[in-house]
């Protein structure tokens, strides 16, 4: 029997790349996203697999619970959970739309936490499972002009690493993917495509493959790209004030 993966944000960017990687390895798919049309196209592409489509906006309260309840109703057991959905916004904190920033917290933090909480007990009971939480190199320092986004990704990294230790006696792994700038629609949504940070953005398929391989090998944290690794390591040793100044600089236009 094929294993089943649930992927949030499954219709574009890293999410879609993960769909292809898991499908190529024969996983049945549960796709969670807002775009029903794109998910239906994916369903048709992989008609040899069991593909379940759930049209949900995880930035809305209660959506994550609805996902879990639909899995229970369909008696679908999730072997791999990929918490990929997320977005960012560029601008001065007090000038950005507050509701959009609250939705960012809901999606990047709350929905990820809720889905993990719902599906983890079953993985522990089976003593088998994998969770991939998509964070960012933003997790390693404060981020002026993307203050809320950087903070959400710091939460994802801290939360995930804590779970690794909690699950040390189980055959359940939690992996955090920390990519730097990546060529997805994130850049246009966040309005950061013209910034220095996106001057050497990595291809999404390359980032997803590194994340996928790391997940399957049970790695704790994956930082994609040598420059990103250096930056993340450096941020650990720099004063927080200096790290914030550097983040502010790279948020500027090229």
Each residue's pLDDT, cut to its tens digit, for the chain (254 residues) gives 799 999 999 999 999 999 999 999 999 999 999 999 999 999 999 999 999 999 999 999 999 999 999 999 999 999 999 999 999 999 999 999 999 999 999 999 999 999 999 999 999 999 999 999 999 999 999 999 999 999 999 999 999 999 999 999 999 999 999 998 777 765 555 555 555 555 577 899 999 999 999 999 999 999 997 676 666 676 675 566 665 666 666 665 54
According to DSSP, the β-strands at 28-33 and 182-183 are unpaired
Residue 119 has, within 13 A of its CA and on its CB side, a CA count of 34
Contact assessment for residue 176 and residue 133, using Cβ atoms and an 8 Å cutoff: yes
Q: Give the domain CATH number at 200.
A: 3.40.50.720
Read off the pTM: 0.88
**Alpha-carbon torsion, ordered 217, 218, 220, 221, to 10 deg:** 40
| Domain count for the chain | 1
149 is catalytic: yes
Whole-number pLDDT of residue 211: 97
Q: How many beta carbons lie within 10 A of that of residue 7, not counting itself?
A: 27
Whole-number pLDDT of residue 237: 56
Domain that holds residue 143: 4-250
Whole-number pLDDT of residue 181: 79
Q: Token match 């790695």: residue?
A: 219
Helix (H, G, I), strand (E, B) or coil at 33: strand
Q: Choosing from 46, 149, 155, 212, which is the catalytic residue?
A: 149
Whole-number pLDDT of residue 184: 74
């Amino acid at each position: 029997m094929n294993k089943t993966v649930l992927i949030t944000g499954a219709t574009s960017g890293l999410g879609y790349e993960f769909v292809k990687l898991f499908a190529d390895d024969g996983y049945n798919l549960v796709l969670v996203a807002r775009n029903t049309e794109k998910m239906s196209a994916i369903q048709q592409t992989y008609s040899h697999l069991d593909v379940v489509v759930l049209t949900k906006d995880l930035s809305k309260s209660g959506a994550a619970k609805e996902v879990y309840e639909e899995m229970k109703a369909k008696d679908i057991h999730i072997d791999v959970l990929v918490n990929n959905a997320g977005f960012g916004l560029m601008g001065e904190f007090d000038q950005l739309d507050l509701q959009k920033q609250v939705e960012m917290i809901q999606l990047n933090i709350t929905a990820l936490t809720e889905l993990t909480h719902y599906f983890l007990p079953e993985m522990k009971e089976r003593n088998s499972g994998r969770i991939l939480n998509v964070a960012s190199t933003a997790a390693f320092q404060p981020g002026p002009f993307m203050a809320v986004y950087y903070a959400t990704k710091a939460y994802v990294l801290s939360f995930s690493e804590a779970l690794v230790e909690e699950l040390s006696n189980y055959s359940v792994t939690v992996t955090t993917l920390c990519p730097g700038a990546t060529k997805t629609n994130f850049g246009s949504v966040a309005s950061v495509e013209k910034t220095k940070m996106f001057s050497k953005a990595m291809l999404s398929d390359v980032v997803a493959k590194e994340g996928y391989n790391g997940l399957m090998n049970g790695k704790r944290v994956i930082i994609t790209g040598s420059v990103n690794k250096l930056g993340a390591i450096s941020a650990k040793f720099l004063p927080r004030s200096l790290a914030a100044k550097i983040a502010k600089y790279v948020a500027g236009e090229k």
